[in-house]
């Protein structure tokens, strides 16, 4: 599981910082999460293949989280894309994007599919044989969701030495991988755990931005491997958090601790701060395993 941070600062882009956008690589998927201004430039700068992006998840309709989307969709067209592109986001995302394409007479030459979200409860929005994605209802000034990405259980791994010892025909390999007990060449029933290894631990990633402190998301993100949680403010500016519906680094750490997550990644910093290391220091007083997002930085788990 790899997370590429393309942008992680709040509000407006600057010459040296970018608004929110990141790419999650998991089980051979490349999911784009949010698409602030400059996303396609950052994709190129980080050498991420445009053609591998087939699903884009937009948290909410504030510009620093989606103003780059129309440009990226247009670029896909210019690159003669043919494969489907799925966009998941709040109701209204289809209207705002298609209006721009209509007025520019720039309809895509590939299937562009919108999945508009309205539920205030967590719901499954994407699923295939390897990954499932759920919404995480957030508390912001407008309707907003985070996203929970979870690997599905993998197949068990074959212990070839044990299989040969128990004289099991290779015709049963698939059943063994699926967890079944099988009969060997001598007519004996062989327990699955005797000839296979457990599958790799399932990985999970939760993206939570933008949001005020919201404890009821804890049940959704409980024990995720990695939590990205917005930390717009430091504690000395906590008074700004309720009115803007954002969080402090301390509050992000409190959520991470309550949810017992593996690693907390902080991001969405206000540009009023000169040193983002202060965010780590504040959060680490409550939750020990803290990482700082930064533009162009990536994490592997």
pLDDT in tens, the chain (301 residues): 999 999 999 999 999 999 999 999 999 999 999 999 999 999 999 999 999 999 999 999 999 999 999 999 999 999 999 999 999 999 999 999 999 999 999 999 999 999 999 999 999 999 999 999 999 999 999 999 999 999 999 889 999 999 999 999 999 999 999 999 999 999 999 999 999 998 888 999 999 999 999 999 999 999 999 999 999 999 999 999 999 999 999 999 999 999 999 999 999 999 999 999 999 999 999 999 999 999 999 999 9
The token pair at 15 is 């010459």
- To the nearest 10°, the Cα dihedral for 111, 142, 220, 296? 70
For residue 211, which phi and psi values (nearest 5 degrees)?
-165, 150
The token pair at 160 is 């070839």
DSSP-derived letter for residue 235 is G
Amino acid 258: pLDDT? 98
Fold exhibited by the domain 2-154+200-293: Metallo-beta-lactamase; Chain A (3.60.15)
Catalytic residue positions?
A: 64
Helices 69-78, 93-103: crossing angle, 10 deg rounding: 50
The answer to whether 75 and 41 have CB atoms below 8 angstroms apart is no
Amino acid 154: pLDDT? 85
Q: What's the whole-model pTM score?
A: 0.92
167: alpha, beta or left? (left if phi > 0; alpha if psi -120 to 50): left
Question: Which residues in the chain are classed under CATH 3.60.15.10?
Answer: 2-154+200-293
DSSP-derived letter for residue 108 is -
Nearest Cα neighbor of 270 from 21, 12, 9 is 9
CB-neighbour burial class of residue 230 (10 A; exposed 0-12, middle 13-18, buried 19+): buried
- Exposure string of 252-280, with b = 16+ CB inside 10 Å and e = fewer, is bbbbbeebebebbbbbbbbeeeeebebbb
The answer to whether 145 and 137 have CB atoms below 8 angstroms apart is yes
Amino acid 276: pLDDT? 98
């Amino acid at each position: 599981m790899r997370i590429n941070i393309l942008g992680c600062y709040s509000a407006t882009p600057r010459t040296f910082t970018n608004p929110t956008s990141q790419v999650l690589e998991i089980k051979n998927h490349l999911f784009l999460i949010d698409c602030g201004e400059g996303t396609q430039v950052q994709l190129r700068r980080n050498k991420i293949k445009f053609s591998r992006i087939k699903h884009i998840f937009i948290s909410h309709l504030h510009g620093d989280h989606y103003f780059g989307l129309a440009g990226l969709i247009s670029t896909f067209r210019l690159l003669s894309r043919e494969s489907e592109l799925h966009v998941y986001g709040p109701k209204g995302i289809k209207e705002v994007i298609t209006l721009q394409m209509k007025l520019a007479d720039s309809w895509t030459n590939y299937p562009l599919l919108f999945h508009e979200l309205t539920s205030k409860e967590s719901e499954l929005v994407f699923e295939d044989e390897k990954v499932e994605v759920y919404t995480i209802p957030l508390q912001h000034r407008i309707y907003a969701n985070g996203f929970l990405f979870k690997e599905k259980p993998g197949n068990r791994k074959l212990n070839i030495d044990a299989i040969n010892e128990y004289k099991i025909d290779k015709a049963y390999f698939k059943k063994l991988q699926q967890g079944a007990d099988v009969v060997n060449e001598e007519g004996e029933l062989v327990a699955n755990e005797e000839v296979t290894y457990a599958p790799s631990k399932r990985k999970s990633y939760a993206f939570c931005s933008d949001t005020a402190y919201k404890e009821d998301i804890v049940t959704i993100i409980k024990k995720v491997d990695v939590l990205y949680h917005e930390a717009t403010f430091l504690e000395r500016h906590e008074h700004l958090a309720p009115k803007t519906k954002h969080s402090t680094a301390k509050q992000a750490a409190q959520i991470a601790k309550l949810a017992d997550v593996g690693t907390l990644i902080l991001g969405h910093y206000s540009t009023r701060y000169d040193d983002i290391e202060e965010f780590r220091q504040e959060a680490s007083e409550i939750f020990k395993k803290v990482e700082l997002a930064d533009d162009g930085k990536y994490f592997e788990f």
